[in-house]
Amino acid sequence: MIVPTIFSQRLLRKGPFVEETYRLFAGWDFSATLEENLGRGLHGNFRSLGWEREVVATISRRLKHFDLLKPLIVLAQRGLPLLDWRDCWRLWIGATEQPFGRFALDWLYEEYQSGRYHLRSEDARELVKDAWADHAPQKPLSEYGVQRAARDLVKTAADLGMLLGSGPVKTFAPITMSDNIFLFYVHQIAELEDSYTKVPSSKYWRLAYIRPDDVHRTLLRLHQYRKLDYQVAGTFVQLALPQKSAVSFAEGIAA
């Protein structure tokens, strides 16, 4: 899979819309058009028409590569609990959206691994400046823009279950996943990396604060329970999955 990454201030400012997207996907009709699904799933569910337009515009932007989102739609359709679905949505958001991906995969993960306990949005200011300098070197953010982007990054991480706290000070959330959700990650990461052998060392595990050695141990355990086939010999890695695609696996675990 060629990962369709997008750098978007709109997506960052509006947030991941976890519950709204989950409800939309739960009622999705694959025989209808995108516009029909958006209208049926979102119309009349918000406090004002203005906010409804903002939500529709934001979610529409995320559905530009709608065919690649089918695994997440199937999970919601089959009734996967919201918090489990949120873990899967986080994987997709982190893999495809910038600057959140850079924030979560690099900065936030490293802070977590360093043993840090508290953080504020101000702590991410340098990350924001670097991300925008790389994306648009001729259009640096204003000081307010940097502050706003840092705050939005932290809020998005909280909305996606990576951080806890309702005030300005956040703590790292303990992320736990069932074997089924871990296996969904394996299938989805294999597609994102376009390789089974890259799964154990993939950076995308960072979106669940999982280190490569923890991935390795979990894969070995799942191999022992015959939930997948995982063979390692030196640098040689062989991984055979229970389903041929993330969609097929989603259809099975949420049935």
Which pLDDT score is estimated for 231? 94
- Cα 208 from Cα 177, distance rounded (Å): 9
Same domain membership, residue 91 and residue 26: yes
Q: Are residues 184 and 205 in the same domain?
A: yes
Q: Are 173 and 161 in contact (CB under 8 A)?
A: yes
pLDDT recorded at residue 254: 62
In CATH, what number is assigned to the domain containing residue 212?
A: 1.10.10
For the chain, what is the domain count? 3
Is 19 inside any structural domain?
Answer: yes
Strands 170-172 and 236-240: unpaired
Among candidate residues 146, 172, 198, the one where a domain is terminated: 172
Per-residue DSSP letter, 146? H
52 C-beta neighbours (distance < 10 Å), count: 15
**How far is Cα 79 from Cα 59, in angstroms, rounded to an integer?**
20
Domain that holds residue 222: 179-253
The answer to whether position 1 is within a domain reads no
Q: Give CA 111 to chain center in angstroms.
A: 18
Residue with structure tokens 């154990």? 200
Look at residue 66 in the predicted model and tell me its pLDDT.
Answer: 86
Distance in angstroms between the alpha carbons of the first and the last residue of the chain: 25
Over residues 245-254, the pLDDT tens digits come to 999 999 998 6
Asked if residue 56 belongs to a domain, the reply is: yes
What are the tokens at 104?
């979560």
Burial class (CB in 10 A: 0-12, 13-18, 19+), 227: middle
Nearest residue to 97 (alpha-carbon basis) of 159, 51, 38? 159
Query: What tens digit of pLDDT does each residue of 91-105 get?
Result: 999 999 999 999 999
Tell me which residues of the chain have a pLDDT lower than 50: none
* Omega before residue 81 within 30° of 0, cis: no
Check whether residue 60 and residue 125 sit in a common domain. no
The answer on 139 and 109 residing in a single domain is: yes
Are 115 and 139 contained in the same domain?
A: yes
SS3 of 137, please? coil
The model carries a pTM of 0.95
